[in-house]
Structure 1
Protein backbone atom coordinates (compact mmCIF):
# COMPACT_ATOMS: atom_id res chain seq x y z
CA UNK A 1 0.00 0.00 0.00
CA UNK A 2 2.82 2.43 0.91
CA UNK A 3 4.57 1.61 -2.37
CA UNK A 4 1.49 2.70 -4.39
CA UNK A 5 1.32 6.01 -2.48
CA UNK A 6 4.93 6.81 -3.36
CA UNK A 7 4.23 6.23 -7.07
CA UNK A 8 1.09 8.38 -6.87
CA UNK A 9 3.02 11.27 -5.22
CA UNK A 10 5.85 11.05 -7.77
CA UNK A 11 3.52 11.66 -10.75
CA UNK A 12 2.70 15.34 -9.94
CA UNK A 13 6.41 16.10 -9.37
CA UNK A 14 7.34 14.53 -12.72
CA UNK A 15 4.50 16.37 -14.54
CA UNK A 16 5.54 19.69 -12.96
CA UNK A 17 9.17 19.20 -14.02
CA UNK A 18 8.18 18.39 -17.61
CA UNK A 19 5.83 21.39 -17.82
CA UNK A 20 8.41 23.85 -16.49
CA UNK A 21 10.97 22.53 -19.00
CA UNK A 22 8.56 23.32 -21.85
CA UNK A 23 8.04 26.89 -20.63
CA UNK A 24 11.71 28.00 -20.51
CA UNK A 25 12.46 31.39 -22.15
CA UNK A 26 8.79 32.42 -22.15
CA UNK A 27 7.50 35.83 -21.20
CA UNK A 28 4.91 34.99 -18.51
CA UNK A 29 2.65 37.88 -19.52
CA UNK A 30 2.50 37.28 -23.28
CA UNK A 31 3.57 33.61 -23.26
CA UNK A 32 6.11 34.40 -26.00
CA UNK A 33 9.85 33.87 -26.34
CA UNK A 34 11.46 36.67 -24.35
CA UNK A 35 14.37 36.95 -26.79
CA UNK A 36 12.29 37.01 -29.99
CA UNK A 37 10.79 40.12 -31.65
CA UNK A 38 7.37 38.45 -31.94
CA UNK A 39 4.65 40.53 -30.34
CA UNK A 40 6.70 43.71 -29.91
CA UNK A 41 4.84 46.80 -31.03
CA UNK A 42 4.49 50.52 -30.46
CA UNK A 43 1.24 52.45 -30.43
CA UNK A 44 1.18 56.15 -31.33
CA UNK A 45 -1.87 58.34 -30.76
CA UNK A 46 -2.16 60.95 -33.50
CA UNK A 47 -3.60 64.46 -33.01
CA UNK A 48 -4.67 67.23 -35.37
CA UNK A 49 -2.13 70.04 -35.23
CA UNK A 50 -2.60 73.73 -35.92
CA UNK A 51 -0.47 76.84 -35.38
CA UNK A 52 -2.38 77.28 -32.09
CA UNK A 53 -1.50 73.80 -30.78
CA UNK A 54 -2.77 70.23 -30.67
CA UNK A 55 -6.42 69.52 -31.46
CA UNK A 56 -8.51 66.36 -31.09
CA UNK A 57 -7.18 62.89 -31.78
CA UNK A 58 -7.56 61.46 -35.28
CA UNK A 59 -6.85 57.88 -34.19
CA UNK A 60 -3.70 55.84 -33.75
CA UNK A 61 -0.92 54.05 -35.60
CA UNK A 62 0.33 50.66 -34.41
CA UNK A 63 3.91 49.85 -35.41
CA UNK A 64 5.39 46.35 -35.39
CA UNK A 65 7.90 44.23 -37.27
CA UNK A 66 6.89 43.59 -40.88
CA UNK A 67 7.94 39.95 -40.50
CA UNK A 68 6.99 38.64 -37.06
CA UNK A 69 9.86 36.16 -37.20
CA UNK A 70 12.62 38.49 -38.37
CA UNK A 71 13.33 41.97 -37.01
CA UNK A 72 15.72 42.67 -39.93
CA UNK A 73 12.78 42.85 -42.38
CA UNK A 74 11.82 46.38 -41.37
CA UNK A 75 8.64 47.60 -39.72
CA UNK A 76 4.97 48.04 -40.60
CA UNK A 77 2.85 51.07 -39.72
CA UNK A 78 -0.81 50.05 -39.35
CA UNK A 79 -2.97 53.18 -39.27
CA UNK A 80 -6.45 53.39 -37.75
CA UNK A 81 -7.08 57.05 -38.54
CA UNK A 82 -10.16 59.19 -39.23
CA UNK A 83 -11.17 62.77 -40.03
CA UNK A 84 -8.37 63.37 -42.55
CA UNK A 85 -8.66 64.87 -46.03
CA UNK A 86 -9.00 62.15 -48.71
CA UNK A 87 -6.00 61.39 -50.92
CA UNK A 88 -2.28 60.79 -50.55
CA UNK A 89 -0.38 62.35 -47.68
CA UNK A 90 3.30 62.74 -46.88
CA UNK A 91 4.21 60.61 -43.85
CA UNK A 92 7.48 60.81 -41.91
CA UNK A 93 9.39 60.18 -38.72
CA UNK A 94 10.53 63.56 -37.39
CA UNK A 95 13.57 64.11 -35.21
CA UNK A 96 12.04 65.48 -31.97
CA UNK A 97 9.46 63.99 -29.55
CA UNK A 98 7.18 67.03 -29.72
CA UNK A 99 4.09 68.12 -31.65
CA UNK A 100 4.00 71.67 -30.31
CA UNK A 101 3.80 74.69 -32.64
CA UNK A 102 6.81 76.90 -33.21
CA UNK A 103 7.66 80.19 -34.86
CA UNK A 104 9.29 80.61 -38.27
CA UNK A 105 9.76 83.92 -40.07
CA UNK A 106 7.52 85.62 -37.50
CA UNK A 107 4.62 83.18 -38.05
CA UNK A 108 3.30 80.35 -35.87
CA UNK A 109 3.67 76.96 -37.60
CA UNK A 110 1.85 73.75 -36.64
CA UNK A 111 4.05 71.07 -34.99
CA UNK A 112 7.27 72.91 -35.84
CA UNK A 113 8.83 71.68 -32.57
CA UNK A 114 8.96 68.18 -34.12
CA UNK A 115 11.94 69.41 -36.11
CA UNK A 116 12.99 68.06 -39.48
CA UNK A 117 12.74 64.56 -40.91
CA UNK A 118 14.72 62.00 -38.90
CA UNK A 119 18.16 61.95 -40.55
CA UNK A 120 20.71 60.39 -38.15
CA UNK A 121 23.34 60.02 -40.89
CA UNK A 122 23.05 63.75 -41.77
CA UNK A 123 22.45 63.08 -45.47
CA UNK A 124 20.49 66.29 -45.92
CA UNK A 125 18.41 64.71 -48.69
CA UNK A 126 14.77 63.73 -49.02
CA UNK A 127 14.81 60.62 -51.25
CA UNK A 128 11.83 58.56 -50.08
CA UNK A 129 11.58 55.28 -48.16
CA UNK A 130 13.82 53.28 -50.50
CA UNK A 131 16.38 56.03 -51.11
CA UNK A 132 19.60 56.78 -49.26
CA UNK A 133 18.44 60.04 -47.73
CA UNK A 134 16.45 60.73 -44.54
CA UNK A 135 15.83 57.55 -42.56
CA UNK A 136 12.49 59.07 -41.54
CA UNK A 137 11.07 59.16 -45.09
CA UNK A 138 8.08 56.79 -45.14
CA UNK A 139 5.72 55.63 -47.91
CA UNK A 140 2.73 57.89 -48.60
CA UNK A 141 -0.30 57.42 -46.39
CA UNK A 142 -3.53 56.75 -48.29
CA UNK A 143 -6.78 58.26 -46.96
CA UNK A 144 -10.08 57.02 -48.42
CA UNK A 145 -13.05 59.12 -49.54
CA UNK A 146 -14.50 58.99 -46.01
CA UNK A 147 -11.38 60.44 -44.39
CA UNK A 148 -10.11 57.11 -43.01
CA UNK A 149 -6.61 55.66 -43.33
CA UNK A 150 -6.35 51.91 -42.71
CA UNK A 151 -3.88 50.71 -45.39
CA UNK A 152 -0.52 49.77 -43.81
CA UNK A 153 2.85 50.98 -45.07
CA UNK A 154 6.26 49.38 -44.56
CA UNK A 155 9.71 50.82 -43.98
CA UNK A 156 12.50 48.32 -44.62
CA UNK A 157 15.30 50.59 -43.34
CA UNK A 158 13.86 51.19 -39.86
CA UNK A 159 13.61 49.21 -36.62
CA UNK A 160 11.31 49.78 -33.64
CA UNK A 161 14.25 51.09 -31.61
CA UNK A 162 14.92 53.79 -34.24
CA UNK A 163 11.50 55.33 -33.57
CA UNK A 164 11.57 55.82 -29.81
CA UNK A 165 11.99 59.43 -28.77
CA UNK A 166 10.81 60.81 -32.12
CA UNK A 167 7.46 61.84 -33.63
CA UNK A 168 5.29 60.72 -36.55
CA UNK A 169 3.99 63.39 -38.89
CA UNK A 170 1.24 63.45 -41.52
CA UNK A 171 1.37 66.26 -44.07
CA UNK A 172 -1.44 67.98 -45.97
CA UNK A 173 -0.40 66.88 -49.45
CA UNK A 174 1.26 64.02 -51.30
CA UNK A 175 5.02 63.69 -50.99
CA UNK A 176 7.12 64.00 -54.15
CA UNK A 177 10.24 62.64 -52.37
CA UNK A 178 12.25 65.60 -53.53
CA UNK A 179 14.28 68.30 -51.81
CA UNK A 180 12.44 70.87 -53.93
CA UNK A 181 8.88 72.22 -53.65
CA UNK A 182 6.08 72.00 -54.47
CA UNK A 183 5.22 69.49 -51.76
CA UNK A 184 8.76 68.41 -51.02
CA UNK A 185 7.81 66.27 -48.05
CA UNK A 186 4.08 66.86 -48.41
CA UNK A 187 3.56 70.45 -47.35
CA UNK A 188 1.90 71.67 -44.14
CA UNK A 189 1.84 69.50 -41.01
CA UNK A 190 -1.70 68.38 -40.16
CA UNK A 191 -1.37 65.47 -37.69
CA UNK A 192 1.34 64.42 -35.27
CA UNK A 193 2.01 61.84 -32.57
CA UNK A 194 4.94 61.15 -30.23
CA UNK A 195 6.60 57.71 -30.18
CA UNK A 196 7.30 56.74 -26.58
Structure 2
Protein backbone atom coordinates (compact mmCIF):
# COMPACT_ATOMS: atom_id res chain seq x y z
CA UNK A 1 0.00 0.00 0.00
CA UNK A 2 1.34 3.42 -0.93
CA UNK A 3 1.71 6.03 1.85
CA UNK A 4 -0.72 8.90 1.79
CA UNK A 5 0.33 12.41 0.77
CA UNK A 6 -0.11 13.51 4.39
CA UNK A 7 2.31 10.82 5.60
CA UNK A 8 4.92 11.82 3.01
CA UNK A 9 4.63 15.52 3.88
CA UNK A 10 4.98 14.82 7.60
CA UNK A 11 8.00 12.62 7.00
CA UNK A 12 9.59 15.32 4.85
CA UNK A 13 8.96 17.98 7.49
CA UNK A 14 10.52 15.76 10.15
CA UNK A 15 13.59 15.24 8.00
CA UNK A 16 14.00 18.99 7.49
CA UNK A 17 13.57 19.57 11.22
CA UNK A 18 16.28 17.05 12.04
CA UNK A 19 18.61 18.61 9.48
CA UNK A 20 18.10 22.07 10.93
CA UNK A 21 18.61 20.76 14.46
CA UNK A 22 21.86 19.16 13.34
CA UNK A 23 23.11 22.51 12.03
CA UNK A 24 22.41 24.38 15.24
CA UNK A 25 25.26 24.92 17.73
CA UNK A 26 22.82 24.77 20.63
CA UNK A 27 24.07 28.03 22.13
CA UNK A 28 21.79 30.88 23.08
CA UNK A 29 23.02 34.38 22.19
CA UNK A 30 24.14 36.42 25.19
CA UNK A 31 22.29 39.59 26.15
CA UNK A 32 25.02 40.72 28.58
CA UNK A 33 26.84 43.83 27.27
CA UNK A 34 30.45 43.23 26.31
CA UNK A 35 30.39 39.44 26.15
CA UNK A 36 30.71 39.01 22.39
CA UNK A 37 32.72 40.87 19.76
CA UNK A 38 30.85 42.45 16.82
CA UNK A 39 32.19 39.93 14.33
CA UNK A 40 31.18 36.83 12.40
CA UNK A 41 33.74 34.06 12.01
CA UNK A 42 34.55 33.11 8.45
CA UNK A 43 36.33 30.18 6.84
CA UNK A 44 38.24 29.25 9.99
CA UNK A 45 40.75 26.45 9.60
CA UNK A 46 41.46 23.71 12.12
CA UNK A 47 43.21 24.81 15.33
CA UNK A 48 46.79 25.72 14.49
CA UNK A 49 46.26 25.32 10.77
CA UNK A 50 47.54 28.18 8.65
CA UNK A 51 45.24 29.71 6.06
CA UNK A 52 47.10 30.64 2.91
CA UNK A 53 47.56 34.39 2.51
CA UNK A 54 45.36 35.90 -0.17
CA UNK A 55 47.03 37.40 -3.22
CA UNK A 56 46.93 41.15 -3.75
CA UNK A 57 43.59 42.25 -5.16
CA UNK A 58 41.76 39.08 -4.10
CA UNK A 59 38.09 39.43 -3.23
CA UNK A 60 34.77 40.50 -4.63
CA UNK A 61 35.32 44.18 -3.90
CA UNK A 62 37.65 44.84 -6.83
CA UNK A 63 40.86 44.73 -4.82
CA UNK A 64 40.13 47.28 -2.06
CA UNK A 65 42.64 46.12 0.53
CA UNK A 66 44.94 47.22 3.32
CA UNK A 67 47.78 45.22 4.85
CA UNK A 68 49.64 45.24 8.16
CA UNK A 69 53.01 43.56 8.63
CA UNK A 70 53.01 42.13 12.14
CA UNK A 71 56.20 42.55 14.15
CA UNK A 72 57.05 41.47 17.69
CA UNK A 73 58.75 43.62 20.33
CA UNK A 74 62.16 42.67 18.91
CA UNK A 75 61.21 44.06 15.50
CA UNK A 76 61.00 40.65 13.82
CA UNK A 77 58.24 40.15 11.26
CA UNK A 78 56.04 37.28 12.45
CA UNK A 79 53.05 37.48 10.14
CA UNK A 80 50.57 39.52 8.13
CA UNK A 81 47.06 40.90 8.54
CA UNK A 82 45.05 41.55 5.38
CA UNK A 83 41.90 43.69 5.41
CA UNK A 84 39.55 43.50 2.42
CA UNK A 85 36.47 45.63 1.78
CA UNK A 86 33.48 43.34 2.07
CA UNK A 87 30.13 45.02 1.47
CA UNK A 88 29.45 47.36 4.37
CA UNK A 89 32.23 45.83 6.44
CA UNK A 90 35.72 44.37 6.33
CA UNK A 91 37.03 40.84 5.95
CA UNK A 92 40.10 40.22 8.11
CA UNK A 93 42.67 37.49 7.48
CA UNK A 94 45.48 37.21 10.03
CA UNK A 95 48.34 34.77 9.48
CA UNK A 96 51.16 34.23 11.98
CA UNK A 97 54.14 32.20 10.81
CA UNK A 98 56.23 32.20 14.00
CA UNK A 99 57.01 33.85 17.31
CA UNK A 100 53.89 33.56 19.50
CA UNK A 101 53.25 31.26 22.45
CA UNK A 102 50.78 28.39 21.89
CA UNK A 103 47.16 29.06 22.78
CA UNK A 104 44.57 31.75 22.13
CA UNK A 105 45.59 35.39 21.69
CA UNK A 106 43.32 38.42 21.74
CA UNK A 107 43.33 40.72 18.70
CA UNK A 108 42.08 44.28 18.37
CA UNK A 109 42.36 47.23 16.01
CA UNK A 110 43.88 50.15 17.92
CA UNK A 111 43.37 53.88 17.55
CA UNK A 112 46.91 54.98 16.59
CA UNK A 113 48.96 53.87 13.61
CA UNK A 114 52.19 53.74 15.61
CA UNK A 115 53.97 50.49 16.57
CA UNK A 116 56.81 51.65 18.82
CA UNK A 117 58.11 48.73 20.89
CA UNK A 118 60.29 50.86 23.17
CA UNK A 119 59.42 51.76 26.74
CA UNK A 120 58.07 49.84 29.70
CA UNK A 121 55.05 48.59 27.74
CA UNK A 122 55.82 47.66 24.12
CA UNK A 123 53.37 49.09 21.57
CA UNK A 124 51.60 51.35 24.05
CA UNK A 125 52.02 53.93 21.26
CA UNK A 126 49.13 52.21 19.46
CA UNK A 127 46.72 53.67 22.00
CA UNK A 128 43.46 52.05 23.07
CA UNK A 129 40.92 50.08 21.10
CA UNK A 130 39.55 51.89 18.07
CA UNK A 131 36.10 53.49 18.38
CA UNK A 132 34.41 54.99 15.32
CA UNK A 133 31.28 56.99 14.55
CA UNK A 134 30.82 58.25 18.09
CA UNK A 135 30.64 54.72 19.50
CA UNK A 136 31.78 54.51 23.13
CA UNK A 137 30.39 51.25 24.41
CA UNK A 138 31.61 47.68 24.60
CA UNK A 139 32.53 45.75 22.56
CA UNK A 140 34.62 48.46 20.97
CA UNK A 141 34.58 49.06 17.23
CA UNK A 142 38.06 47.54 16.95
CA UNK A 143 37.36 44.26 18.76
CA UNK A 144 38.10 41.10 16.76
CA UNK A 145 38.00 37.37 17.41
CA UNK A 146 40.99 35.63 19.01
CA UNK A 147 43.63 33.77 17.01
CA UNK A 148 44.74 30.25 17.95
CA UNK A 149 48.49 29.55 17.81
CA UNK A 150 49.82 25.99 17.64
CA UNK A 151 52.86 24.48 19.35
CA UNK A 152 55.09 25.72 16.50
CA UNK A 153 54.11 29.34 17.13
CA UNK A 154 51.95 29.60 14.00
CA UNK A 155 48.26 29.98 13.25
CA UNK A 156 45.66 31.91 11.30
CA UNK A 157 42.10 33.15 11.50
CA UNK A 158 39.61 34.60 9.05
CA UNK A 159 36.73 36.75 10.22
CA UNK A 160 34.62 39.73 9.21
CA UNK A 161 33.23 42.79 10.95
CA UNK A 162 30.71 45.48 10.09
CA UNK A 163 31.71 47.63 13.07
CA UNK A 164 34.29 49.46 10.93
CA UNK A 165 34.94 50.28 7.28
CA UNK A 166 38.22 49.89 5.41
CA UNK A 167 38.66 53.68 5.33
CA UNK A 168 38.18 53.90 9.10
CA UNK A 169 40.94 51.41 9.90
CA UNK A 170 43.52 52.42 7.29
CA UNK A 171 46.30 54.25 9.10
CA UNK A 172 45.43 52.59 12.42
CA UNK A 173 47.10 49.49 13.88
CA UNK A 174 46.31 45.92 14.79
CA UNK A 175 47.60 44.41 18.04
CA UNK A 176 47.94 40.74 18.96
CA UNK A 177 48.10 40.26 22.72
CA UNK A 178 50.11 37.80 24.78
CA UNK A 179 47.01 36.16 26.27
CA UNK A 180 43.46 35.18 25.47
CA UNK A 181 40.58 37.66 25.32
CA UNK A 182 37.68 36.82 27.64
CA UNK A 183 35.45 39.41 25.90
CA UNK A 184 34.57 40.73 29.38
CA UNK A 185 32.66 37.54 30.04
CA UNK A 186 33.08 37.42 33.83
CA UNK A 187 30.17 35.79 35.67
CA UNK A 188 29.07 37.52 38.85
CA UNK A 189 30.14 34.55 41.01
CA UNK A 190 33.81 35.26 40.18
CA UNK A 191 33.63 38.97 40.98
CA UNK A 192 34.70 40.79 44.10
CA UNK A 193 32.05 41.42 46.74
CA UNK A 194 29.94 44.43 45.88
CA UNK A 195 31.30 44.60 42.32
CA UNK A 196 29.40 42.06 40.23
CA UNK A 197 30.45 41.42 36.64
CA UNK A 198 33.55 42.62 34.77
CA UNK A 199 35.39 45.74 35.91
CA UNK A 200 36.37 48.57 33.57
CA UNK A 201 39.81 47.11 32.79
CA UNK A 202 38.24 43.82 31.75
CA UNK A 203 35.64 45.63 29.65
CA UNK A 204 38.28 47.68 27.82
CA UNK A 205 41.00 45.07 27.32
CA UNK A 206 39.43 41.63 27.73
CA UNK A 207 42.28 40.87 30.16
CA UNK A 208 44.36 39.78 27.16
CA UNK A 209 47.62 40.89 28.75
CA UNK A 210 50.70 42.47 27.18
CA UNK A 211 50.93 43.51 23.55
CA UNK A 212 52.92 40.80 21.78
CA UNK A 213 52.81 42.03 18.17
CA UNK A 214 51.78 45.12 16.26
CA UNK A 215 51.29 46.20 12.65
CA UNK A 216 50.31 49.50 11.05
CA UNK A 217 47.42 49.09 8.58
CA UNK A 218 48.45 50.53 5.22
CA UNK A 219 46.69 50.61 1.84
Q: 1:121 Cα deviation (Å)? A: 4.5
2:94 matched to 1:79?
yes
Gaps of 5+ in 1: 1-29, 128-133
Match of residue 38, structure 1, among 51, 54, 62: 62
Gaps of 5+ in 2: 1-55, 185-199
Q: 1:146 Cα deviation (Å)? A: 2.0
Matches within 5 A, 1:83-98: 83-98=99-114
Tell me, in whole angstroms, the C-alpha distance in 1 between the residues paired with 2:181 and 2:136: 16
Q: 1:126 Cα deviation (Å)? A: 3.6
Tell me, in whole angstroms, the C-alpha distance in 2 between the residues paired with 1:111 and 1:154: 24
Matches within 5 A, 1:119-134: 119-121=131-133, 123-127=135-139, 134=140
Taking only aligned residues, the RMSD between alpha carbons, in angstroms, comes to 2.7
Higher relative contact order (CA 8 A, sep 6+): 2
| Alignment partner, residue 26 of structure 1 | none
Tell me, in whole angstroms, the C-alpha distance in 2 between the residues paired with 1:170 and 1:58: 11
Q: How high is the TM-score relative to the length of structure 2? A: 0.58
Question: In structure 2, do the counterparts of structure 1 residues 102 and 147 end up closer, same or farther at CA, with 3 Å as the change threshold?
Answer: closer
Where is the strand percentage greater, Structure 1 or Structure 2? 1
Question: In structure 2, do the counterparts of structure 1 residues 114 and 40 end up closer, same or farther at CA, with 3 Å as the change threshold?
Answer: same
| Alignment partner, residue 109 of structure 1 | 121
Q: 1:162 Cα deviation (Å)? A: 1.3
Q: Deviations over 1:89-110 (max 9, x none)?
A: 110110001011465xxxx111
Is the contact between residue 102 and residue 113 of structure 1 (CA under 8 Å) also seen in structure 2?
A: no
Structure 1 range deviating more: 148-157 or 163-172? 148-157
Tell me, in whole angstroms, the C-alpha distance in 1 between the residues paired with 2:207 and 2:143: 8
| Alignment partner, residue 166 of structure 1 | 172
Structure 1 range deviating more: 169-178 or 147-156? 147-156
Runs of 4 or more, structure 1, over 6 Å off, are none
Match of residue 65, structure 1, among 71, 74, 85: 85
SS in 2 for 1:150: strand
Tell me, in whole angstroms, the C-alpha distance in 2 between the residues paired with 1:75 and 1:169: 17
